[in-house]
Amino acid sequence: MKKLTIVVLLFVLFTGCNSSKQTGTGTSVFQDTLRYPDESHLKNVQQLTFGGDNAEAYWSFDGKYIVFQRTNPKENIPCDQIYMGRVPKPGQKFEYKRISSGKGRTTCPFFTKDGKHIIYASTHLADDKCPPVPDRAKYGNKYIWPLYESYDIFMADLDGNIVKQLTRSKGYDAEATLSPDGKKMLYTSDKDGDIDLYIMDLATGKENRVTNTLGYDGGAWFSPDGTKIIWRASRPTTEAEVKEYKDLLRENLVAPTNMEVYVANADGSNAHQVTKYGQANWAPAFMPDSKRIIFASNHEYPRGFPFNLYTINEDGSDLKKISRDKGFDAFPMFSPDGKKIVFCSNRFNGGTRDTNVFIADWIE
């Protein structure tokens, strides 16, 4: 795979500070001018954000709100901060406010079951400033993702007040999501020497490590019925791949450009690989039936882009292409009732690098 060609796009996928609260407003465009002709499963596509890098947009449990991370230097947001807003009706403005403190870098927000709190990872305890990004020239201009040791996971109320620190280990703790009953947190950490998945009981703080194979495991979700987990993983196999992976890990870095989708039981048992396409197959989530899967991939394109959305059965059969943008579609998540989908895309951005949040009706 030619990794250099996807550096620009991957930069907006994973990059994930000022002191005042901010509110943003955009006009939702609800005509299907934002849907490509072959996107038969999408209808009434609405653009919610306008400008900057907006990613990892996820629904509240009641489907009324969306939380997401945002970077936009033009608005004095030099690295990702967490925002939330009420899902607008067609033609209404999408208004959002910042939940994170504006200090450090934040990533991977998720609503709690009660709808009164948000969990997210942040580096603010180490420094108010954005942590430095890696010098990719040092690594042959590959896409390199920093595993900031200062990332820990926090719970905040909807006014942005941090009410609880959920992780305290020395090392990268991030990429947290919650089980359908809201009682368990599934997250990624490198605290035991590799990049693995852990499940924490929020009430007791007790946790179990649920992956144990060398390689990056992250971006994990529970299925809607709570019986399974799904995630993206890299699996270095050759001697050279293993050496590169371990060398980068010692520097708190990873190069997650070759990934496949994996599924396991909710306790980590019966782990198995779903996709075998090569390149980057990632951002997976179970569909509302807890059987089919939606994910983002660039596997059709040797140059490494576009990224589009696909659906597939858990056994790897019946691959279907869902989106058709020529740049980037990813981070798909279905609303709790299964009627809508939120995703992030470069579509119709005027040739800029802007990535925006979109919602659409889902048509079977």
pLDDT tens figures, 89-99: 988 999 999 99
Which tokens belong to 309? 């959305």
Q: Of 212, 186, 208, which Cα lies nearest the Cα of 271?
A: 212
The count of domains in the chain is 1
- What is the mean predicted confidence (pLDDT) over 181-202? 98
Check pLDDT > 70 for residue 361: yes
CA distance 240 to 325: 35
pLDDT band at 233 (very low <50, low <70, confident <90, very high): very high
Per-residue confidence (pLDDT) for residue 141, from 0 to 100: 86
Check pLDDT > 50 for residue 3: no
**Nearest 5°: phi and psi at 10?**
-65, -25
Per-residue confidence (pLDDT) for residue 287, from 0 to 100: 98
End-to-end CA distance of the chain: 33
pTM of the model: 0.91
Residue 53 lies in domain: 3-362
CA distance 176 to 184: 10
pLDDT tens digit sequence for 293-307? 999 999 999 888 899
Which CATH number do you get for residue 31?
2.120.10.30
Which of 30 and 280 is assigned the larger pLDDT?
Answer: 280
CA distance 264 to 259: 16
Q: Which residues pair with 185 in a beta bridge?
A: 178, 200
CA distance 40 to 256: 31
- What is the mean predicted confidence (pLDDT) over 51-60? 98
